[in-house]
Amino acid sequence: MTNKEMMYSSNKKNEAVKFLKNDEDFLKEKSLEEILAERSQYPVESDEWEYLNKFKSEILQKKKPSTAEKILYFKEADLDSIPWGFSKVKNLPLIDYEIEERSLLEYHPNQRHPIPYVAVRYEEEYFFILRGAGVGESRLAGRKGLLGGHVGEIDAVPGDIQSSIENGLWRELEEEAGIKAEKVKKLEMKGIIKSNDGVDSDHLGIIYEIELNSKDIQSEEEELTGIWMTKEELKQHFDALESWSKIVVSNLILSD
């Protein structure tokens, strides 16, 4: 590209962003879906796309203030070595991570957030939660799922993604169900889920199983209801499970 062409291209971008800024009051009246549709008209991570992504971020933070938290994320391009679907692995590959506000990362096609997702077992029963309408990820409301959540900036260990993930895992276990290390007989990483099915496209599932030495736990969060289910009950409730829970139940729990 010649200098003249580069200058012309830069001017076009500046004009497009200027146009969007002039329309700022109009954009503020748009819904999340309308902003995402408007954003989709521009190349991902272009100046125009990034400008509209900030509007999306503001909408999400108003709906759910917790999305202002800073979390770990991976660049999609760095995950090429991880196969699609469910893969059984004992450890994570070495992946560089970065940290950003969750509201900026949601609905971002070039980034994924690692989510430690834990099958909690006591003898022959598994602990699941029913998510209410006010849960942090509204796209999962009304579904039964396993314990887990985002890995926050507070969990990060520089240069050590496995420890960072497990720090987030322990924090989520205590916050969601009061599970501390002394209640756990065994912790083991079981696999990774990589999918583009709806909400899955934002996330990379890091699947663990823990075995408890007691059944004495319950949901600690207002929007979550804890339930224990046997394998037979999981078969009966399979259609009400989150997509990742279906994968874990099919590949790990019912496959034994």
- Distance CA(239)–CA(142), nearest Å, equals 12
**Tally of domains in the chain:** 2
Cβ–Cβ under 8 Å, residues 75 and 110: yes
Residues 124 and 53 in one domain: no
Please report which helix (H) or strand (E) contains residue 164, including its range: helix 161-177
Residues 48 and 78 in one domain: no
Residues of the chain scoring pLDDT < 70: 1-26, 131-142, 223, 256
Residues 152 and 221 in one domain: yes
Show Cβ contacts of residue 195 under 8 Å, excluding neighbours closer than 6 positions: 84, 85, 201, 205, 243, 244, 247
Paired strand residues for 86: 193
What pLDDT is stored for residue 216 in this prediction? 86
| Span 191-215, pLDDT tens digits | 999 999 887 899 999 999 999 998 8
- Nearest CA to 248 out of 167, 98, 145, 112 is that of 145
What pLDDT is stored for residue 16 in this prediction? 52
Residues 162 and 111 in one domain: yes
| Span 227-251, pLDDT tens digits | 899 999 999 989 989 889 999 999 9
Single residue among 38, 63, 88 that ends a domain in this structure: 63
Cβ–Cβ under 8 Å, residues 193 and 205: yes
What pLDDT is stored for residue 130 in this prediction? 80
Cβ–Cβ under 8 Å, residues 72 and 113: yes
Range(s) of the domain holding residue 46: 3-63
Please report which helix (H) or strand (E) contains residue 122, including its range: strand 111-122
Residues 124 and 234 in one domain: yes
User: What's the CATH number where 165 sits?
Assistant: 3.90.79.10
What pLDDT is stored for residue 6 in this prediction? 40
